[in-house]
Amino acid sequence: MSKRIASRVHGLFTAMITPFDAQGRVDLSAMEELVSFQISKGAEGLYPCGSTGLGPMLKEDERKRIAETVVRMAAGKVPVVIQVGCADTASTVELAKHAEKVGADAVASLTPYYYKPGEAATNRHFQTVSESVGIPLLAYNIPQFTGNVLSAASVSSLAKSGVISGIKDSSRDLLLLQDLLDAVPDDFVVMNGTEEYALYAIMSGADGLVSGGASALPELFKSLVAAQREGDHEAATAAQQKVLAVKDLVKQGPISSYYAILKERGVDCGAPRSPFLPLGTSENEKVIAGLKRMGLL
């Protein structure tokens, strides 16, 4: 299998929320506005239909329309990685082919979730998806949601055989992240998806951060990545401390909080799809007031 390098995947990628209208339908007009907002605030790449985007709760045709909208609105200004992972391989392949057709720079795939098919089956899943497209494929490791852990040895094998070009690691496991960084080739992209130790991950060699919080506060997460890139460790540390404070502030409902924060900022994306609930009035006021105290709004 020929090797594909995900050279455009680095820096801050926003794991985008999915806007919904009052009837719970995907709101593509609001998605257009959200893409423009992200680019204007310095996001270096976009990552729709992931966990923050409620990808597993979206129908296949909804995911395709989101992919089309994000790629069209990004218009080559920033790279787009479409998260195409499903519980089954055939649906993942279908979404990957569509993402390539509409112009995505790369695709990412969750490990098949809910069931635990085992390492050999999971590796075959990635091989099948990779063989179906000509653009880079990133594995998406989030075992606390999928129930499947991608070991450093599996990732290394898939990387060296050219099946995957990178990984988004949201394992919340620092030791696994370090093992991944030590095991993969130099041109393999490792994107960290755990905001709580984003600075450590980048200092250790990760190529960047895929952040759900950046949906609402892209400037904060961009400042962390940029400061570390520029060697300003003091500023990067201060940004990481603010990130931890934000994570603590929204801990009662992170995804719902991102919708509320965006609305406060003038980007109305509705509310997350059921069974998620929008923030209650008191919690909403607490989040907004806390961000204002931190100087983030």
H or E stretch covering 50:
none
In this structure, how many other beta carbons lie within 10 angstroms of the beta carbon of residue 26? 21
Q: In what order do the strands lie in the sheet with 11-15?
A: 45-47, 11-15, 208-211, 189-192, 166-169, 137-141, 106-110, 81-83
Catalytic status, residue 168:
yes
Facing residues of 14 across strands?
46, 211
In whole angstroms, give the CA distance from residue 23 to residue 107: 29
Backbone phi and psi for residue 188, each to the nearest 5 degrees, phi listed first: -85, 135
| DSSP secondary structure letter of residue 123 | H
Which one is catalytic: 64, 168, 222, 242? 168
User: Which listed residue (64, 97, 113, 140) is catalytic?
Assistant: 140
Active site (annotated) includes residue 113: no
Peptide bond into 278 cis (omega under 30): no
Task: Note the helical H segments in 184-264.
Answer: 198-203, 218-229, 233-249, 254-264
What does the alpha-carbon distance between residue 35 and residue 16 come to, in Å, rounded to a whole number?
9
Among residues 35, 133, 31, 132, the alpha carbon closest in space to that of 79 is found at 35
Active site residues: 140, 168
